[in-house]
């Protein structure tokens, strides 16, 4: 026989206790890291959606009659530029909520077809700046930087000329459905 430790030697009680303690600590650390990761991901996904902005927006009928200037945004849920701008619009809404109406009109809703035709919406996002009496003052189309939009809103609230009126940025193409009249023109004699 050799002088090495016997093959079936009993394990030391300290090593079993040490392994259990180590495994227990690994489990606790894994649970803590999982919880931190879960909570970290939840707090980073607080981006505002267009649907939430629409639900919290002022109805158009109220906006044109409550003697406050308004920002009307024509948008669509599928519009990537609209989605990109949503957090900026949400921040601006928080900043100007007491001085300004924010109106969201979804171009996929045929209810807004008269307004789309009135403001000639052919790209989205399409912003219309309305005065206190609901009159159109200026328009901006496309991806507008937050600082430029804030300058326009500040001027709108103060009743001064908008510094960046009639702007056009990157847009998503949109074609408004056109209503056709099925009646023949009486001058066409049915031709």
How far, in Å, CA of 149 to CA of 58, rounded? 18
Give how far the C-alpha of residue 59 lies from the chain's centroid of Cα atoms, to the nearest Å.
Answer: 18
How far, in Å, CA of 20 to CA of 181, rounded? 82
Q: Tokens for 29?
A: 């650390």
Angle of helix 146-158 versus helix 80-96 axis, rounded to 10: 40
Using DSSP's 3-state secondary structure scheme, residue 136 falls into strand
CB 129 within 8 A of CB 158: no
List residues with catalytic annotation.
79, 82
Q: For 97, list phi and psi in degrees, rounded to 5.
A: -55, -35
* 76 Cβ contact list (under 8 Å, min separation 6): 82, 106, 107, 108, 124, 172, 174
């Amino acid at each position: 026989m050799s002088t090495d430790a016997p093959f079936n030697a009993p394990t030391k009680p300290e090593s079993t206790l040490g392994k259990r303690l180590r495994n227990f600590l690994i489990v606790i650390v894994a649970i803590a890291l999982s919880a931190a990761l879960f909570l970290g991901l939840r707090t980073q996904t607080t981006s505002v959606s267009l649907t939430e902005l629409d639900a919290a927006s002022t109805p158009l009928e109220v906006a044109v009659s409550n003697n406050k200037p308004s920002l009307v945004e024509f948008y669509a849920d599928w519009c990537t530029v609209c989605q990109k701008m949503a957090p900026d619009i949400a921040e601006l809404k928080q900043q100007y909520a007491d001085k300004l109406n924010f109106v969201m009109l979804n171009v996929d809703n045929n209810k807004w077809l008269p307004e789309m035709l009135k403001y000639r919406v052919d790209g989205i996002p399409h912003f219309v700046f309305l005065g206190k009496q609901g009159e159109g003052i200026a328009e901006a189309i496309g991806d507008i930087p937050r600082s430029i939009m804030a300058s326009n809103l500040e001027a709108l609230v103060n009743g001064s000329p908008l510094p960046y009126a009639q702007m056009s940025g990157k847009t998503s193409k949109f074609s408004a459905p056109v209503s056709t009249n099925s009646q023949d023109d009486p001058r066409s004699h049915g031709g």
